[in-house]
Amino acid sequence: MDRAIRAKALHFPGSNAGSMTYFDDGVLLIRDGTVVDFDDASRLESKGFDLGQCESYPEHLLMPGFIDPHIHFPQWDVVASFGTRLLEWLETYTFPAERRFADPEFAEVAAEEFCDGLLAAGTTTAMAYSSSHAVATEALFRAAERRSMRLLTGKVLMDQNAPDGVRDVMPAAISESEALLKAWHGRGRLGYVITPRFAGTSTPEQLSAAGELFARYPDAWVQTHLSETIEEINWTASIHPSAKDYFGIYEDAGLANARAMMGHCIHLTAEEIRRMAGSGAAAIFCPSSNLFLGSGLMPYERLMEAGIPVGLASDVGGGPQICLLHTMADAYKVLQLQGYPLSAKEAFFQVTKGNAQVLQIDSFVGDFTPGKEADFILIDPEKSPEVSRRVARAQTIDERLFALMMLGDARVIAQASTLGQCRISKRSEGT
């Protein structure tokens, strides 16, 4: 065995939150970067495993690494920018920040910091937007590869309604995307995401060329934004007047199937929800961003009931914090306003196995069934006085998890490992 980690431990081996398996004294066995076994310590001992080999963290919580299905690599520097809603926020803060990523040296340093920032926050896998620059996209792939992270990203496509320095041109935008895809998609743990930013910043020609690219590489992904604010919806309709509705723009371009991730989906009509469910496209719930930018309350339960796969994401920099524990806390608050109390079980399911399922990478990551890639985190509640105080009074694992999601932050992430190798460790090692 390469590593044996002993701690309080949980995962979701099934396809829903109800499948949670929790061990007060669990062990994760890893060889060659993959999970060999995950079980109760005494059961493993009775199978002949020598518990003396374990790295032991009796008060830590071991779980699969978090998966963030919607985050913007070039926006980490503009989180917490004051006073604007989506369209003005893009113009005022976001596009100027993204312009800097044309510089390969700047992008290289930023990519290193971004990947370390993800790991320090417990996120071992992400689907990220790059900027519109190939150099920044390559820098992010390289930084993820150096850390053996499973990372999906793509160059942002935007050939209209964006300033010089971030606006791209056709047909070069598509040939650049294809060259990146050919170089990086399926290389180790990396994957390419065809990334038209949103309908407002792409011409109909660019959207259909992106759809044609997707048709040629159906095992790539698509990511874009959909129906985030009322102002954006009206503006988009004026730019694409012949489309039936906002979702119809992506549908017509061939950008809506089960490998397409639609950020936000707050204000969809009943008709759009029906067609989106039929397409298999996923909706990505970004509660922190939706609160911060004042975009609205995503109808999570309604979309799920309609049969749309729903992921849960930080959306940094619309969302201010990179740690998905904050996202879970904001999801709870947004859903409280809609009469749907989000359980800790469901929230932790969402950021691990649920997001893996939505991204269609659950055969690789998301839980600890044997053969899965060994991406895991160790959480130390003692690292946060607020969490530690509340957890001390918790009677059940559900209560502990709820305290962790409502009060936790990146401080409690003691260690993050990818493919069984420790990439970030913030405290002294176990015994």
Give the interface with Zn ion as residue ranges (CB under 5 A).
Answer: 263, 315
The binding track of 28-67 with respect to ligand GUN, each residue x by CB under 6 A or -, is: ----------------------------------------
Q: Does 70 bind ligand GUN (CB under 6 A)?
A: no
* Range 233-237, long-range pairs (CB < 8 A, 24+ positions): 233/267, 235/87, 235/200, 236/198, 236/199, 236/200
Measured from the CB atom, the residue of 315 and 367 that comes closer to Zn ion is 315
Per the DSSP assignment, residues forming a β-bridge with 196 are 157
Min dist CB 319 to Zn ion, Å, is 8
Token representation of residue 12? 């979701």
150: partner contacted, choices ligand GUN, Zn ion, none (Cβ within 5-8 A by kind): none
Number of residues binding to ligand GUN, judged by CB under 6 A: 11
Min dist CB 187 to ligand GUN, Å, is 26
Q: How far apart are CA 403 and CA 394, in angstroms?
A: 8
Residue 123 CB partners (closer than 8 Å, separation 6+): 65, 66, 67, 68, 322, 323, 324, 416
Q: CB under 6 A: which stretch of 36-44, 86-94, 118-126, 267-275 binds ligand GUN?
A: 86-94
* Range 405-408, long-range pairs (CB < 8 A, 24+ positions): 405/325, 405/328, 405/329, 405/332, 405/344, 405/347, 405/348, 406/328, 406/329, 406/332, 407/329, 408/323, 408/325, 408/379, 408/381, 408/384
98: partner contacted, choices ligand GUN, Zn ion, none (Cβ within 5-8 A by kind): none
Measured from the CB atom, the residue of 66 and 198 that comes closer to ligand GUN is 198
Q: How far apart are CA 311 and CA 123, in angstroms?
A: 15
Q: Which of residues 321-360 bind ligand GUN (CB under 6 A)?
A: none
168: partner contacted, choices Zn ion, ligand GUN, none (Cβ within 5-8 A by kind): none
Min dist CB 200 to ligand GUN, Å, is 7
Measured from the CB atom, the residue of 29 and 90 that comes closer to Zn ion is 90
Q: Does 318 bind ligand GUN (CB under 6 A)?
A: yes
Q: Does 72 bind ligand GUN (CB under 6 A)?
A: yes
Q: What are phi and psi of 211, to 5 degrees?
A: -65, -40
Q: Does 240 bind ligand GUN (CB under 6 A)?
A: no
Measured from the CB atom, the residue of 99 and 390 that comes closer to Zn ion is 99
Q: Of 81, 94, 206, 223, which lies in the binding site for ligand GUN, with binding defined by CB under 6 A?
A: 94
Element (H, E) at 300: helix 300-305
Question: How many residues make up the chain in this entry?
Answer: 431
Measured from the CB atom, the residue of 95 and 348 that comes closer to ligand GUN is 95
Q: Does 380 bind ligand GUN (CB under 6 A)?
A: no
Element (H, E) at 108: helix 104-120
Q: Which of residues 190-219 bind ligand GUN (CB under 6 A)?
A: 197-198
Q: Of 225, 275, 383, 423, which lies in the binding site for ligand GUN, with binding defined by CB under 6 A?
A: 225
Min dist CB 255 to ligand GUN, Å, is 14
Measured from the CB atom, the residue of 251 and 315 that comes closer to ligand GUN is 315
* 123-129 vs 150-154, strand pairing mode: parallel
Measured from the CB atom, the residue of 8 and 197 that comes closer to ligand GUN is 197
Min dist CB 224 to ligand GUN, Å, is 8
229: partner contacted, choices Zn ion, ligand GUN, none (Cβ within 5-8 A by kind): none
Burial label for 83, CB within 10 Å (0-12, 13-18, 19+), is exposed
Decide: 138 and 177 in contact? Cβ < 8 Å. Answer: no
In the DSSP assignment, the letter for residue 328 is H
Q: Does 132 bind ligand GUN (CB under 6 A)?
A: no
Q: How far apart are CA 63 and CA 28, in angstroms?
A: 10
Please give the radius of gyration of the chain, using alpha carbons only, rounded to the nearest integer: 21
Q: Does 228 bind ligand GUN (CB under 6 A)?
A: yes
198: partner contacted, choices Zn ion, ligand GUN, none (Cβ within 5-8 A by kind): ligand GUN
Q: Which of residues 241-300 bind ligand GUN (CB under 6 A)?
A: 289
C-alpha distance from residue 3 to each of 36, 49, 267, 359 (Å): 10, 12, 47, 28
Burial label for 392, CB within 10 Å (0-12, 13-18, 19+), is exposed
Min dist CB 175 to ligand GUN, Å, is 23
Per the DSSP assignment, residues forming a β-bridge with 373 are 34
Per the DSSP assignment, residues forming a β-bridge with 366 are none
Give contact residues for ligand GUN (rule: CB under 6 A).
72, 86, 90, 94, 197-198, 225, 228, 289, 315, 318
